Every structure is written in structure tokens, then in C-alpha cells.
Amino acid sequence: MNRPHNSIMVIFGASGDLTKKKLIPSLFELYKQELLCDDFAILGVSRTKFTDDQFRQNIIEAVIKYSESKEIDKDLLKNFAANAYYLPINTEEVRDYMLLKEKLDELNALKVTHGNFIYYLATPPQLYETIVSNLGVYNLQDTPDEHGSKKIIIEKPFGFDYESARKLNGHLHDIFNENQIYRIDHYLGKETVQNVLVLRFANGIFEPMWNRNFIDHIEITSSEFIGVEGRGGYYEGSGALRDMIQNHMLQIVGFIAMEPPSSFRANAVRNETLKVFQSLRHIKEEEVEKYAVRGQYTESLIRGEKIPGYREEKGVAPDSRIETFAAIKFFIDNWRWGGVPFYIRAGKRLPTRVTEVVIHFKKTPHHLFSTDNAEQTVNQLIIRIQPDEGILLKIGLKQPGAGYKIQNVNMDFHYSDISEVELPPAYGRLLLDCMLADSTLYARGDAVEECWRFVDPILNQWKENKEIKIYGYPAGTWGPMESFDLFENSKSEWRYPCKNLTDDGLYCEL
């Protein structure tokens, strides 16, 4: 495993939640596994007036509170935090970037980082353009000598529709080259999402069947048990389609549907996912009601506990029409997928936390075993992204005894069976890739724009057309029943990974 060159990671928004909950614990994990460079520094930047020591103390507390590691070596953690520095500036004030430049020069000499700087924008998206411009004013994006590299990592949302995404990309490109820009989508950092590529392209048995001749339809579910968790203000400007489908779920579609790349180089892989996004059949505005369903969770009682509805959440308008559940049906217009429907749903306050892809294979052309349940035989490949990460193949086999009664059985693989090691956190993997200048698992600007182009007509209709209903669903259930109407005339329906919480216990079977 390569180790990255010495570098400084500058975190804008260093006093915020993302830094505490994700970035710092992930960087510590890399440090613990000795995957970071020999000499590195974290430079926290934000308006809050911390000293270096206070910032280091915050880092220690963040790792203790949010790290997924079961055991934390306190001495190691102290050594890790000693590499952190802090600069209180107003990121909207261009003159303050002079202070940033001086601080970077100082740390660069101290840590021998050869001008390798990574800027992480963990700030509200409204600040992206200002920060990028201000970095440009002091040429902090420049790589004047052959050693120093400057990279910028940007968090989602990358825009809120196609036009704003294009504008943001244009602005970034005014200052940085595309190969310096890393748009992070933490789903691509998940071990099981990467495993989709290995499953498909390292095995000879799946690829011949991975097409319209053998696959009936594909279903992807992202279900969250939690609600908006105090982020009502953010969510009111977003909704499930923007928050989960435009990015995370379409990126999974990209990996599931892409053609084999000619190599595993970043652009070879990303060119193929781009082609998938370019082939998505756009839903016409007048057909949005037929192909997209939205819902919003309402108050309910789960195991005796009252769960508030979305409209009762802090920061949410009492008459909000923002969807906490979205389901869509669409097609990919290319040779491989012509006529195969894809169904995606994502929602909050569903019965459990689960993300999975279900490949539904076609039925046999002729039913040889004319027993009662021959029709029911299912061949499904379930790729469980989280939790209980693994893969399951459902097939029909003969029940022991007289006659030919067929029973569906499972062949399954769980990550936990092959590895004692906890799966690495998605952010850790992606941060390391960026340090190694590998952008394979980062979203490219053109792909992000294509994904917005695809969801824009749905967003427009949901905003403008007051006749399109938003259905209520009790918290703890699988969203509005209307989402089943997407399967019109077909014998299929969504797979239930577990029952409704309102009428059963929490049980999630792979």
C-alpha cells in the first residue's frame, strides 16, 4: 500500500459538525493504521477563536466521542492531536487569506510538506465560491514547483439543481483544474459499494448475465430509521431526492450499470459512469406523477414512544411540502439496459437502516415443475450495502420428499465471515485516496451535472405543480403505499428487508 507524500490538510469549517463527527475520527483511523504520511499537519480554519491547544483538545474529544473504533490508545491520540494547528479567520474576508498564506508557509517549513496542501471545504455550501475565490487571490491553488500539489475537497451538495451545479463547477474551474478538484460522495467510500465493481469485473460468472436478456428489473433502497435529527433547516432546502437520490443513489446506479472500464484508472472508470448518467431517460414533466412518488413522515407510536411527524421537527415549516421519502422508476436507454426498469427509493423514518441493491433475474421461460409454488421461484442477487454488509443469492431448490415442491433458499456471504477487522470508515478511505491523488471514487464535475439534469424535471414539478400529491406515511413504515404503484401491471413489488415498525419488531434479514 502506497503512503501519501507529506502534506497539510486545511479544514475550513473546523469547528463544525462534519469535522468533529467524520473528518477527525477518519484521519485518526488512518494515523492509527500508519497510512498517513510521515509528516502531516491539520490546519483548522474557522471564525471561532480557538488556540492550537483548544483545537487539539477538541480533536481528542471528537475522536473519543465519534470514532467507530472500540478501543482508543490515549497516547496515540495525543500524538495525533499534536499535529493539529488552528487559525481563526473570517473566511469571507479576503485579507484574512494573507494570514492563511503566512501560516501555511510556516507549517510547510516546519513539517517539510513541499507545498502539498489539501483544502477541505466542510462549510455551508453558500461559502464555497467565496473561499475558492479568496484562495485564488493569494494564488494558494498554484503548484509552482514540481513537488507541491494543491487539491480541494468539496462536500455535497454540489449545487441545488443543474444550473447552480454548472455555475459552481464553472467557478471552481476559474481557479482550480478539474484534476485538483475532489467532490466527495461518501457512498463511494463504502467498502460494499466498491465491492460492486469487484463482484462484477473480477468474476467471470456475473457479467454474461448482467444485461436486459437476463435481468427483469433492478431495485435500490436506502432506508433510514432516523428522522432529520435537528437538521430541519437544511432539509427544508433539500428533501430526499436532492439529499440522497441525486448523488449517493445515482452513484450506485453508475457502478451497477456501467460498462467494464478498460483499466482501473480514475478517468477510465469515471468515463463509464458518466455514460450511464448520459443514458438515463429523463422523465418528462407531464409524466412525473407516473414515475415519481413522494411522501412525508407523520407522527406515530413506535413501541410506545411517540415519534413526531416531519412538520413538528425543529426548523420545519408547519405546512412544509418537502419530501422525506422519494421513489422513482426510470430506464437507462442503452444497449445493455434497454427496457429494464430501475426502481429507487430513499426515505427517512422508515422501519430500519438498510441500503441494498436487488437484482431481479428473469423467470424461466417454461415452468417444468407444475407445483403450486413454481411461479413463486425467485432468483435475486441482493447486494447489502449496509448494515450486515454482504451478498445473498436467492434460488429455488427442491424440498425433500415426494414430488417436486420448490422452496426458495439463500446462498449468502457476510463480510463479517471473512474479516474480523471493522470495515474502514468511508471518509477515511476517500481522504486517503485524495492524499494519494486517486480520484476514482470521487464524483467528476460532468457526472454531477448529468445527475442534476436527470432529477431537475421531477424537482421542478414537485415545486411548481400543486396538484401533485405528497403522501403522508406514519413514521416507522415503508413510506406511502402509492410507491407500490410504480410497479404498475407487474407482479413485482419492493422487497421488504423487514416489517413495518408500527406492527412488528425491528428485524432486518439479509
15 vs 355, which CB is nearer to ligand BG6? Answer: 355
5 vs 156, which CB is nearer to ligand BG6? Answer: 156
Q: How far is the CB of 239 from ligand BG6 (least distance, A)?
A: 10
**Looking at 36, 43, 169, 243, which residue binds ligand BG6 (CB under 6 A)?**
243
# chain residues binding ligand BG6, by CB under 6 A: 3
Q: How far is the CB of 131 from ligand BG6 (least distance, A)?
A: 20
Q: Note every long-range contact of 209-212, with CB atoms under 8 Å and residues 24 or more positions apart, other chains counting.
A: 209/361, 210/336, 211/336, 211/337, 212/336, 212/337, 212/338, 212/339, 212/340
Binding to ligand BG6, residues 53-112 (CB under 6 A): none
Per-residue binding letters, 170-209, with ligand BG6 (x by CB under 6 A):
----------------------------------------
Where is 380: in which H helix or E strand? strand 380-386
Amino acid at 229: E
Q: How far is the CB of 464 from ligand BG6 (least distance, A)?
A: 24
In angstroms, rounded to a whole number, what is the distance separating the alpha carbons of residues 82 and 53?
9
**In which residue are the cell numbers 507545498 written?**
115
Active site annotation includes 248: yes
What lies within 8 Å, CB to CB, of 425 at 6+ separation is 22, 25, 26, 29, 68, 189
Q: How far is the CB of 226 from ligand BG6 (least distance, A)?
A: 7
State the catalytic residue, choosing from 5, 186, 217, 248. Answer: 248
Q: Is 184 left (phi over 0), alpha (psi -120 to 50) or beta?
A: beta
Nearest in space to 160 (alpha carbons), one of 22, 43, 322, 5: 322
- Using only C-alpha atoms, the chain has a radius of gyration, in whole angstroms, of 24
143 vs 194, which CB is nearer to ligand BG6? Answer: 194
**Looking at 7, 24, 31, 224, which residue binds ligand BG6 (CB under 6 A)?**
224
232 vs 261, which CB is nearer to ligand BG6? Answer: 232
In angstroms, rounded to a whole number, what is the distance separating the alpha carbons of residues 236 and 376?
42
- For strand 300-302 and strand 292-298, is the pairing parallel, antiparallel, or unpaired? unpaired
In angstroms, rounded to a whole number, what is the distance separating the alpha carbons of residues 467 and 148?
56
Q: How far is the CB of 423 from ligand BG6 (least distance, A)?
A: 12
Is residue 450 a contact residue for ligand BG6 (CB under 6 A)?
A: no
266: its cell numbers: 480514475
224 vs 456, which CB is nearer to ligand BG6? Answer: 224
Binding site for ligand BG6 (CB under 6 A): 224, 243, 355
Q: Which residues are catalytic?
A: 248
